[in-house]
């Protein structure tokens, strides 16, 4: 089931049932960095009720992946991203911070500081995540290691250890590297591979995935490719049409 809604996400989410979403993968506007066809009304008074709605519609054990960065205003980052993460905790979510390192983006930002090339990928979980298909593609540099047996003590109270072989690939760490993507007429599309990896990590086939800030529909495209149901909401008609075309062509 694919359900695409051309409306304000707060209004559309208010009509959704409690606890109906397994996973949200989304990226809200970043402060006022972009105006999205001058349609944007953004600030605490908007994102706070949106986070409250996201908590309400998320199933127990469901996850919200909230990808965000900060604007720099008068020489300082705004810190809005952290305010949002802390507010998500006030709403009841657990929070884990992941980083998207934007490879291939050159050296960006002010001359006074090192190049700015990451965004936060906050993982808001309603309790402990119910689905964790954690990707194992990190090469284990150490092929074998020593572990303690029985608390490391034998009968004489001496240290006791045994050698174990490590699998060649271990669980990925929480900094992910993806090129920025320009794939449509939208100013800020997600990298498809990044969305793919979140979808397979935190949901199963047949689950329902939401994106309340659908933009060009990357989350919808990757949800469909991975046999998940999808609900996408986008306010700007021009972007909504791009998303419709991309998702139906998938
Ligand atoms: C950062 S972009 C998302 C891009 C998307 N991840 C993609 O891959 O194309 C944020 C989007 O949210 C939309 N938007 C902003 N406020 C909204 C609201 N209240 N309801 C629905 N959509 C909104 C903007 O028009 C914009 O397309």
Q: Which two tokens stand for residue 110?
A: 């002010």
The per-residue pLDDT for range 211-227, each reduced to its tens digit, is 999 999 999 999 999 99
Q: Which residue has the higher pLDDT, 243 or 108?
A: 243
Query: From the CB of 8, is ligand 1 less than 6 Å away?
Result: yes
What pLDDT shows up at residue 180? 85
Residue minimizing CA distance to atom 7 of ligand 1: 189
Query: From the CB of 12, is ligand 1 less than 6 Å away?
Result: no
Average pLDDT over residues 148-161: 72
What pLDDT shows up at residue 36? 62
Atom index in ligand 1 nearest the CA of residue 8 equals: 20
Could you please state the CATH topology (level 3) that the domain comprising 2-135+172-248 is classified under. Answer: Rossmann fold (3.40.50)
From ligand 1's centre to the CA of 173, what distance in Å?
28
For residue 24, pLDDT over 80 is answered with: yes
Query: From the CB of 122, is ligand 1 less than 6 Å away?
Result: no
Query: From the CB of 31, is ligand 1 less than 6 Å away?
Result: no
| Band of residue 201 on the pLDDT scale cut at 50, 70, 90 | very high
Residue minimizing CA distance to atom 8 of ligand 1: 189
CA dist 171 to 134, 137, 166, Å? Answer: 7, 6, 12
Atom index in ligand 1 nearest the CA of residue 216 equals: 9
For residue 39, pLDDT over 70 is answered with: no
Distance CA 98, CA 124 (A): 11
Domains in the chain: boundaries:
2-135+172-248, 140-170
Distance CA 31, CA 192 (A): 23
For residue 202, pLDDT over 90 is answered with: yes
pTM (two decimals) = 0.91
Find the range with the poorest average confidence among 1-10, 128-137, 143-152, 234-243: 143-152
Query: From the CB of 33, is ligand 1 less than 6 Å away?
Result: no
Distance CA 24, CA 202 (A): 9
For residue 7, pLDDT over 80 is answered with: yes
Across the chain, mean pLDDT equals 91
Query: From the CB of 186, is ligand 1 less than 6 Å away?
Result: yes
Provide the phi-psi class of 131: left if phi over 0, else alpha when psi is between -120 and 50, else beta.
beta
Find the range with the poorest average confidence among 84-88, 137-141, 156-160, 242-246: 156-160
Query: From the CB of 215, is ligand 1 less than 6 Å away?
Result: yes
For residue 171, pLDDT over 70 is answered with: yes
Query: From the CB of 235, is ligand 1 less than 6 Å away?
Result: yes
Torsion, CA 25, CA 209, CA 169, CA 140, rounded to 10: 20
The per-residue pLDDT for range 96-111, each reduced to its tens digit, is 999 999 987 666 777 8
Report DSSP letters for 54-119, one per residue: HHHHEEEEEEEEEEE---EETTEE--HHHHHHHHHHHHT-EEEEEEEEEET--S-S-TTS----EE
Atom index in ligand 1 nearest the CA of residue 218 equals: 8
């Amino acid at each position: 089931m694919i359900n695409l809604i051309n409306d304000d996400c707060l209004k559309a989410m208010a009509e959704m049932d409690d606890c109906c979403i397994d996973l949200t993968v989304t990226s809200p506007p970043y402060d006022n960095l972009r105006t999205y066809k001058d349609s944007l009304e953004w600030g605490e008074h908007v994102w706070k009720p949106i986070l409250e709605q996201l908590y309400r519609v998320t199933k127990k054990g469901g996850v919200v992946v909230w990808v965000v960065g900060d604007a720099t205003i008068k020489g300082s980052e705004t810190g809005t991203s952290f305010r949002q993460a802390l507010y998500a905790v006030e709403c009841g979510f657990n929070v884990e911070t992941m980083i998207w390192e934007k490879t291939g983006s050159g050296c960006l930002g002010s001359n006074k500081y090192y190049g700015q090339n990451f965004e936060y990928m906050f993982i808001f979980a309603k309790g402990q995540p119910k689905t964790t298909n954690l990707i194992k593609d990190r090469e284990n540099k150490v092929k074998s290691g020593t572990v303690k047996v029985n608390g490391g003590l034998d009968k004489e109270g001496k240290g006791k250890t045994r050698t174990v072989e490590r699998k060649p690939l271990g669980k990925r760490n929480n900094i992910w590297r993806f090129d920025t993507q320009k794939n449509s007429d939208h100013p800020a599309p997600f990298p498809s591979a990044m969305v793919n990896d979140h979808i397979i990590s935190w949901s199963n086939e047949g689950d329902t995935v939401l994106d309340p800030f659908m933009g060009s529909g990357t989350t919808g495209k990757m949800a469909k490719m991975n046999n998940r149901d999808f609900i996408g909401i986008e306010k700007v008609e021009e972007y909504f049409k791009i998303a419709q075309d991309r998702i139906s062509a998938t």
